[in-house]
Structures are given as C-alpha cells and as structure tokens.
Amino acid sequence: MGPSPTARAARLENVRARDAAQVEALLSALPVEMPWDVALEPGDPLGALLSDAGFTQYATTVRASRAIDGLRESEGSEGVRLLTYTNEMAQRYEDAEWEALDGLATFKAMGRPTGYAQGAGYGDFTVALRGDRIIGFCFTQVPEGIIWWMGVVPDERRKGVGTMLIASAARAVRTAGGTHLIAEPEATDDARAFLRGLAFREHGTRDLLIKKA
C-alpha cells in the first residue's frame, strides 16, 4: 500500500554514521526526498548526530511479540461483529480512526488521510462494528504477523473488542502459515497493558525521529 498524501516519510533503516560529516554525506546521497524517518535504540549516539542534522524525535514505541499457539480465543463482545474491510467503508473507517488514534504522536506525524482507508486487499484488514458503526480495526501483514495499524474508539474500550481483533489477526496469520504476532505501538501505558494482558513479550523500545521537508 502506497503512502498517504500527507505521510510520505521514507523510513531509513539501519542508519550508521561516525560523525556529522558522514551523516551529511549520507543524507545528500539519498535517492528519496524528505521527509525522512528513522527508528533508533534509546541512547544510540546517532540520535545526537541526526538531531544536529535537523531530525526531531516525535514518539517512542515498544516492540512486542508472542507465539500464536496458546493465544486464548476471544469470547467476543456482545453486539459486536467482525468484517473484512472494504474500501466502500472508507468514510466510516476514517471517523473511527480519528476517534481511536486522536492524541497519539504517531498518528499526528502521519497526518490525515493516513491511506488505510484504501487498504482493502492488502494483508488482513478486519473491522469491528456495532450496528453500522465501525468501532475498531486491525491491519495485519500476513504471514509475517506484523500488526501495522490497530485501534478501538474510546467508548468501546475494555469490552473485549481489541481482544477480538487480535484473535482474528492470529487466525489469519496461522491460516497463511505464520507462527507469531508482532506489534510496535506507541509506548503508552494503555498499549503496554493491553499487550501484557494478551501475554505479549516486550523487546525494548525505539525512538522515532523525523526530518520534514
């Protein structure tokens, strides 16, 4: 799925440099234009070099994973049904996305639209509905099991909706031959508590930095 019109940052993976001169040479040689996005381990000396080069930190994420085997099946939430997302749901989805993710630094950095409203057919994209209202969503890469985008609207949290979506993602990954679920949400107390409740194991945090055009 291509980048959204307002979130065209190119993620620079495995960036290494010894000094400011190397950073400058690297950035000037990049074949893609800004904005550029980098994820670093906390305390990485490269962070100071990138800061001097105009990058700013906008969020911290926590990496977590668990095996699909042993994941408890969700009992469901009364009155909630799960459907495979279609692009015809775009307006309802964007309303739910705004409610669910408003206030998160990662969501703010992406801008609107995020592009997921046109994400039908890419990976496993499941939405939770109460009546005709979308109240939750989960976009998962299969068979790798990477949960890229997930949220539940505030008034429907702690009712089992998120657990339903995770269980659905696990079934899709297992059907595709995968064995694990991987998540890297913004490191909020709520996100970490939710993952711990599902026996995800944390593997440290990462700082996200961006240089805008």
Q: Could you give phi then psi for residue 28, rounded to 5 degrees?
A: -70, -20
Residue 111 is predicted with a pLDDT of 81
H helices present in the chain, as ranges: 20-28, 46-52, 90-101, 105-110, 161-175, 189-197
Residue 1 is predicted with a pLDDT of 44
Contacts of 51 (CB under 8 A, 6+ apart): 57, 209
Determine, yes or no, domain membership for 188: yes
Please tell me whether residues 148 and 90 are part of one structural domain.
Answer: yes
Determine, yes or no, domain membership for 128: yes
Residue 6 is predicted with a pLDDT of 53
Residues of the chain with pLDDT under 70: 1-8
Residue 7 is predicted with a pLDDT of 60
Q: Residue 54 in 3-state DSSP?
A: coil
Residue 113 is predicted with a pLDDT of 86
Determine, yes or no, domain membership for 4: no
Determine, yes or no, domain membership for 144: yes
CATH number of the domain within which 70 lies: 3.40.630.30
The position carrying tokens 């440290």 is 204
Output the CA–CA distances (angstroms, integers) from residue 12 to 30, 44, 63, 195, in the order listed: 10, 15, 18, 27
Residue 77 is predicted with a pLDDT of 83
Print the domain residue range for 165.
Answer: 66-206
Determine, yes or no, domain membership for 213: no
Residue 4 is predicted with a pLDDT of 52
